[in-house]
Amino acid sequence: MLATGEVKELIIRPDMEMVTIILHDGAIIKGKKVTSTIFHMAIADASKFEEKLREIELRLGITEGVAVTYDRHSDITGRIMVLILFFALLMSIASRMKGVRSPISMDSFSQMGRAKFTLVDPFEGGRGVLFKDVAGLQEAKQEVKEFVDYLKAPQKYQRLGAKVPKGALLLGPPGCGKTLLAKAVATEAQVPFLSMNGSEFIEMIGGLGAARVRDLFQEGKKRAPCIIYIDEIDAIGRQRSGTESMGQGSSGELEQTLNQLLVEMDGMASKEGVLMLASTNRADILDKALLRPGRFDRHILIDLPTLQERKEIFEKHLSDIKLDSKPAQFSGKHARLTPGFSGADIANVCNEAALHAARQCQTKVSASNLEYAVERLVGGTEKRSHALSLVERRVVAYHESGHALVGWLLPNSDILLKVTIVPRTSLALGFAQYTPSEQKLHSKEELFDKMCVALGGRAAENIIFNKITTGAQNDLEKVTKIAYAQIKKFGMNTNLGPIYITDAEESGSYNHPFSENLHRIIDKEAQNLVSSAYQKTEELLKKNLDKLEKIAEALLEKKTLSYDEVVTLIGPPAYDVANRALEPVEFEKSLKNLGEKDE
Ligand code: ADP
């Protein structure tokens, strides 16, 4: 084209390694008139292109060179344009193909407003959760049984003019069986169970939460009679702010969702057969409107299991694993060892025990596996590689022995179960494990003894090594908390009398809502209390130095001491433990009549 003089202009695009060739109007190539005067050509090296062009022009005898321009700016936009065109092409192909939905369409927007609930239909295969699968929780089961009855035979209630129950709010800490109970209601009543988590309603896009609530209830009505279950309802049921200025943004969205929920719940009154259950562990932050009578008919508290309930839960979960003896042999003992555990924790213990047994290639799960599992949940796994120097080991041994011995000598302390100096992955260098009583009320003396036990570690270090270490941080935290609580919350201080003192956080302000004078008195009294506990602890340990040394030396040698081993070393505890709670050694003997013993 150059030789025939048809080229009018060349545009070099260095970044795209391309040249655009523009021909004169009506150019003729190979004897034909061209239809388009613009051609593109890929080149290898844009920087040398013009040089070569001029050389060729010289050779061809062209004196007046072709105009050459460089286009350095449009290349990025050009690329983007090419990309966009490419995607547009892809999408148009994709949308024409059957079964492939283009990623952006109005359809997916409307889908977002749909409630993504989990549906458990009792008529479709599988055995659901029955009441007998929920261990303990007698009172709660009793309450929800009425709902089951209602769902099965609504006429019986309507005939007498009883109002239709709308539902129940299950309150309580996580892992205690709220979901389990709600599912059991559905299975027992043989109705579908629609469950959704509170957080699944929340989305950044306005109005979606409300749309999902609407959708969920619509689906519920379609399937009536049925149960709608919203887990962690606090995610949408938070207290509305009450200020209009906050009506925008995410809090506005939350309020809209909650309002829709309230509207739907009110609307349910006439539509019989849809029962609403919801669970939360933060009833305190729920909006008042949700808690008002008429919304949820019942508030059912599902608290951490008691001793008897833990025993039942243990039996339930132990029956699922292969044990080397009957579940009843273990359940009583382990229920005692696990105060404060939730149902989910217990399920976890049983599973850990089975895992441990499997790791050791056992054919059956034994008592030692269960003990290992409980200990692991309480203290974390052993970390044998976590080496301590000899000096540190001595300090830890005396520290733990100090705790154990003070507990041994005081009347109001829990029974020692085991003391160990094997470091744990939870960063503890050792611990003394007790069988805490499930007592709910504590006297001043008991709290004082608790402080002494906690200070036992620090005091022992001080007496033996005449120096103190950083190992007592946790203990000191506990002691300080107990001391301040006694003075500020329980009215146990004789100088201040039976008063309750509100903290800054409680009142929501930055300053203490009490006078500086009172502040000084509180601090002084707390100091006095802690130091008198410390003094008593030190005296006690000094008087029993021989025992302290015995325990510590045995601990250094064996790393772990059980209750029995401590008895062999220093004799039985100073006070009659039988009166306080069962001795650990008595567990086996008393299993038969455990049901009759109170806690
Ligand atoms: P929540 O809803 O209260 O957080 P879940 O009902 O989800 O707790 O319970 C979690 C798990 O804990 C259950 O799957 C079950 O294995 C176990 N669990 C909790 N409470 C009990 C109980 N009372 N009886 C049997 N298992 C329980």
Give the containing element (helix H, strand E) for 363: none
Atom of ligand 1 nearest to the CA of 182: 6
Question: Which are the contacts of 260, defined by CB distance < 8 A and separation ≥ 6?
Answer: 209, 210, 213, 214
In the residue annotation, 50 being an active-site residue is answered as: no
When pLDDT is cut at 50, 70 and 90, the band that residue 588 belongs to is very low
Q: Whose CA is nearest to atom 6 of ligand 1?
A: 177
Q: Whose CA is nearest to atom 11 of ligand 1?
A: 344
For the cut 50, the answer to whether the pLDDT of residue 525 exceeds it is yes
Q: What is the predicted pLDDT for the residue at 437? A: 63
Q: At what angle do helices 563-570 and 545-558 cross, to 10 degrees?
A: 140
Strands 118-120 and 67-70, how do they pair? unpaired
Which listed residue (312, 400, 461, 583) is catalytic? Answer: 400
Residue 134 CA, ligand 1 centroid: distance in Å: 8
Q: What is the predicted pLDDT for the residue at 535? A: 94
- Give, in order, the Cα–Cα distances in Å from 70 to each of 13, 18, 50, 76, 379: 6, 11, 10, 14, 73
Q: Whose CA is nearest to atom 12 of ligand 1?
A: 344
| Average pLDDT value over all residues in the chain | 79
Alpha-carbon span 266 to 475, nearest angstrom: 52
Q: What is the mean pLDDT of residues 127-147?
A: 82
Q: What is the predicted pLDDT for the residue at 243? A: 47
268 three-class SS:
coil
- 14-18, 49-53, 193-197, 269-273: least confident range: 269-273
Q: Whose CA is nearest to atom 8 of ligand 1?
A: 175
Q: What is the mean pLDDT of residues 236-243?
A: 68
Phi (first) and psi of residue 530, to 5 degrees: -65, -45
Q: What is the mean pLDDT of residues 373-393?
A: 72
Atom of ligand 1 nearest to the CA of 309: 23
Tell me, using a 6 A CB cutoff, whether residue 403 lines ligand 1.
no
Alpha-carbon span 17 to 362, nearest angstrom: 70
Dihedral of the CA atoms 123, 129, 130, 132 (nearest 10)? Answer: 160
Residue 348 CA, ligand 1 centroid: distance in Å: 10
Tell me, using a 6 A CB cutoff, whether residue 275 lines ligand 1.
no
For the cut 60, the answer to whether the pLDDT of residue 593 exceeds it is no
Q: Percent of the chain, pLDDT > 70?
A: 82
Residue 135 CA, ligand 1 centroid: distance in Å: 9
Alpha-carbon span 182 to 168, nearest angstrom: 10
For the cut 80, the answer to whether the pLDDT of residue 510 exceeds it is no
For the cut 60, the answer to whether the pLDDT of residue 488 exceeds it is yes
- Give, in order, the Cα–Cα distances in Å from 18 to each of 2, 37, 42, 78, 411: 17, 16, 4, 12, 93
When pLDDT is cut at 50, 70 and 90, the band that residue 542 belongs to is very high
Phi (first) and psi of residue 342, to 5 degrees: -95, 170
28 beta partners: 33
Neighbours of 499 (CB within 10 A): 12
Residue 177 CA, ligand 1 centroid: distance in Å: 3
Q: pLDDT tens digits, residue range 243-259?
A: 444 444 456 777 888 88
Q: pLDDT tens digits, residue range 441-473?
A: 788 888 999 999 999 999 999 999 888 888 888
Q: What is the mean pLDDT of residues 285-309?
A: 83
- 71-80, 346-355, 388-397, 586-595: least confident range: 586-595
Residue 345 CA, ligand 1 centroid: distance in Å: 9
- Residue of 263, 269, 236 whose CA lies nearest to 167: 269
**Number of residues assigned to the chain:** 599
For the cut 80, the answer to whether the pLDDT of residue 194 exceeds it is yes
Q: What is the predicted pLDDT for the residue at 245? A: 43
Q: What is the predicted pLDDT for the residue at 585? A: 38
Q: What is the predicted pLDDT for the residue at 427? A: 53
Q: What is the predicted pLDDT for the residue at 484? A: 92
12 beta partners: 19, 70
Q: pLDDT tens digits, residue range 214-232?
A: 888 888 888 878 888 888 8
**382 vs 561: which has the higher pLDDT:** 561
Alpha-carbon span 340 to 128, nearest angstrom: 28
For the cut 80, the answer to whether the pLDDT of residue 175 exceeds it is yes
For the cut 50, the answer to whether the pLDDT of residue 583 exceeds it is no
**Given strand 415-420, what is the order of strands in its sheet?**
431-435, 415-420, 560-562
Q: What is the predicted pLDDT for the residue at 448? A: 92
Q: What is the b/e burial string over 563-597, where b = at least 16 CB atoms within 10 angstroms of the residue's CB?
A: beebeeebeebeeebeebbbbbeebeeebeebeee
Q: pLDDT tens digits, residue range 388-444?
A: 777 888 888 999 899 999 988 888 877 777 788 877 655 566 777 666 666 667 888
Tell me, using a 6 A CB cutoff, whether residue 344 lines ligand 1.
yes
Q: What is the predicted pLDDT for the residue at 531? A: 94
Q: What is the pTM of this model?
A: 0.62
DSSP state of 420: E
Q: What is the mean pLDDT of residues 28-45?
A: 79
**572 vs 460: which has the higher pLDDT:** 460
Q: What is the predicted pLDDT for the residue at 220? A: 83
Q: What is the mean pLDDT of residues 38-61?
A: 82
Tell me, using a 6 A CB cutoff, whether residue 137 lines ligand 1.
yes
Q: What is the predicted pLDDT for the residue at 328? A: 79
